[in-house]
Structure 1
Amino acid sequence: MTVKIRMQTGCGEMILALEEKAAPQTVQAFLDYLGAGAYADTTFFRIVNETHPQAGAAAKINVVQGGPRFDTSGHDPALQLFDMPHEPTSMTGLKHCHGAIAMGRFAPGESYGGFYICNGDQPELDAGGARFPDGLGGAVFGQVVEGFETLSKIAEHAGESEFTDRPVPIHSIVVIRSFRQTVPSGAP
């Protein structure tokens, strides 16, 4: 099943397709956070690009990160509403390509509901990539299907630090459609 969501931001709208068949637990966690109101009054607060030092990182990335905010000291464990197993790209077959949405994490399965969207292909975030020292990579669970210009506009809000001083509001995230792909009867 694919779930489509509409994300209204201060830079415009994006439509994303969430891949429930490939990443069922990560999609469900995102929808549970959405249902719990975790994304109300949040922003894209972290805009990381190749100009940022990205201290301690084995590989530089280019992403926009939104949802509940964390800072360089980490996140508030109270924001972690649900336990979730880590669904790495090696399990789902999904990749950190341009427009991919993935669940933010610190340790595998430790998510506070934050998410990031890749601005360009980011293979170093995939399982086996250099970004995560544990080698497990991130948990991609969907893809931007409309609104790439909005993603570009959000990325333009980067500041001198990866934690932007010009955060982009997330006005709303709503489920607009869930559908199953079915094979017609008699089809091979």
Structure 2
Amino acid sequence: MDSACLDSGQRGGESGAAAVTVRVLSSTEAHAAVPGLTDVLLDCVAGGASVSFMAPLDRATAEGFWSQVVAGVEQGERILLVAEDGEGVLGTVQLVVGQPPNQPHRADLSKMLVHRRARRRGVGAALMQAAEEAGRAAGKTLLVLDTASPEAERLYERAGWVKVGVIPNYALWPKGGFCDTTYFYKALG
């Protein structure tokens, strides 16, 4: 599962909340962001999100995952975006742009993660919009994703993504037990 831990509400921010910025990271910036990205991943797994890891997730394993992502950024296979506020990284999403030769027009949206401290501030919607813009800039015309989160499904549908279908018992929740996954796509105009 790649898209299960995210902002479930898009209410335009809370009173007094710090401004949130979303940006694409260079490989150098991605290296520097690993501690903050690790914190977000640990929080999402601890919160029960099905994002490929089982609980309890240790810091070394999470850092190892982000090191692999950074290597993908360095190789031009991934685009890594972060959402930040005055306290640091609070969300992230990736576009896997390195696809097989017969799919150069497509990218996978992966690991949409928003720290629980940042929920209901529009972070998920901002990350989605920025990911779509990054996909267009990379020459992609089709994005696909999967999610185990009903909250994520609502966000994707509001953003114009098309629900394709549900696969039952696709993966496990972090503490065990099967979860379904739902696939979506979006054609970029």
Q: TM-score range by the shorter chain?
A: under 0.3
| TM-score normalized by the length of structure 2 | 0.27
Which has the larger share of helix? 2
- Tell me the TM-score normalised to structure 1 length: 0.27
